């Protein structure tokens, strides 16, 4: 699958301008019959036809980048399913399936090896040492590379130290890599990383990432606000946004996402205007949403950089208001609360 370039993303961005990454893995697999508590990665061997179909559906919807079904593919996640001794094989198979689909496409499709957090806290907050985290990510990324993945796609991260460990692992494996944080806690990651600081997480001891950004989080408006911070801090960088499909809401015992295809199309247009070069969907994003985003990306001419207020007006309210509101907005809200209380 390699093009001979150390950065296949740059090659395709040069050709197409803005790239469309794929949609949700977990929520789409649940729709295919995955049960709550099951490990999606086991389906790479137990139900490979369903993983083939998911990737094929994303490619048919217009994705330029598809992520392997390996988000929880470290030994730490797989041990919860007694599969910690199958890390290499499950990750290799994940990449092989995605590469087979990409190889049949009538255009260039990049296969990115999804690398999620271990689920463990690193020392001193938890028991996992930095060195053990690196080893776990190396084990996973070796499998993804053996299966043909072109990039290590480190995603949904909260702790800078864990991003660094995964980046070092990608470097050790000779893989270009990206990383994205999940800014789901008052506008920062759970471990306190601010969007504007996403560019400075790794040091000069490893190769630089080929792109950085945000994924998941709480809603489309929030991730666009995070994008404004990221692109303002480093406008020359290749930035990824892969936001949830609107806002998650419980209906009975099930989670539904509020985003419609037209809303996600507008999210894609705003993401372009705010400086993203790689745009995709995370939780709740179906192929219908992705098709609308493909059309939006292909037809949109980059416009003025939006404000947070414009984003809220077009996409809906933010859930991380405390961190993203301006001071005047906060004063106005406090005034309303005082008026209501009097």
Binding-site positions for Zn(2+) read 216, 282-283
Q: How far apart are CA 83 and CA 315, in angstroms?
A: 41
93: tokens are: 């198979």
**Cα–Cα distance for residue pair 25/40, rounded to 1 Å:** 9
- Alpha helix (H) residue ranges in the chain: 8-16, 26-31, 43-46, 48-61, 75-78, 87-104, 130-146, 160-172, 220-233, 261-273, 287-299, 308-315, 321-324, 327-341
Rounded Cα distance, 27 and 4, in Å: 34
Q: What is the largest CA-CA distance in the chain?
A: 68
Binding residues: 216, 282-283
CA-atom Rg of the chain in angstroms: 19
Backbone torsions φ then ψ of 291, nearest 5 degrees: -60, -40
CA angle 188, 189, 194 (to 5 degrees): 45
b/e sequence 55-88, b meaning 16+ C-beta within 10 Å: bbbbbebbbbbbbbbbbbbbbbbbeeeebeebbb
39 upstream amide cis, omega within 30 of 0 = no
Closest CA to 66 of 32, 19, 30: 19
Is residue 215 within 8 A of residue 282, CB to CB? The reply is: yes
Q: Are 239 and 203 in contact (CB under 8 A)?
A: no
């Amino acid at each position: 699958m390699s093009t001979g370039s150390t950065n296949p993303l740059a090659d395709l961005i040069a050709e197409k301008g803005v790239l469309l990454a794929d949609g949700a893995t977990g929520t789409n697999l649940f729709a295919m019959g995955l049960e709550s508590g099951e490990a999606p990665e086991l389906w790479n061997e137990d139900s490979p036809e369903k993983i083939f179909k998911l990737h094929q559906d994303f490619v048919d919807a217009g994705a330029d980048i598809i992520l392997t079904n390996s988000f929880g593919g470290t030994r730490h996640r797989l041990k919860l399913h007694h599969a910690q001794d199958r890390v290499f094989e499950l990750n290799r198979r994940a990449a092989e399936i995605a590469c087979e689909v990409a190889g049949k496409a009538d255009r260039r499709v990049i296969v990115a090896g999804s690398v999620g957090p271990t689920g463990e806290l690193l020392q001193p907050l938890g028991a996992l040492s930095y060195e053990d985290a690196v080893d776990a990510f190396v084990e996973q990324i070796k499998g993804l590379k053996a299966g043909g993945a072109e990039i290590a796609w480190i995603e949904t991260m909260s702790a800078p130290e864990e991003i660094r460990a995964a980046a070092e692992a990608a470097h050790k494996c000779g893989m270009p890599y990206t990383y994205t944080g999940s800014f789901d806690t008052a506008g920062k990651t759970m471990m306190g990383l601010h969007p504007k600081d996403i560019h400075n997480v790794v040091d000069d001891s490893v190769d630089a990432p080929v792109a950085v950004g945000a994924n998941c989080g709480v809603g489309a408006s929030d991730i666009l606000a995070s994008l404004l911070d990221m692109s303002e801090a480093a406008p020359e960088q290749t930035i990824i946004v892969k936001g949830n499909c609107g806002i998650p809401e419980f209906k009975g015992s099930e989670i539904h996402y509020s985003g419609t295809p037209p809303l996600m199309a507008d999210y894609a247009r705003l993401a372009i205007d705010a400086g993203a070069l790689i745009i995709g969907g995370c939780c709740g994003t179906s192929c219908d949403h992705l098709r609308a985003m493909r059309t939006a990306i292909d037809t949109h001419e980059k416009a003025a950089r939006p404000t947070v207020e414009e984003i809220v007006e077009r996409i809906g309210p933010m859930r991380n208001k405390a961190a993203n509101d301006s001071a005047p907005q906060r004063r106005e809200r406090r005034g309303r609360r005082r008026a209501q209380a009097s």
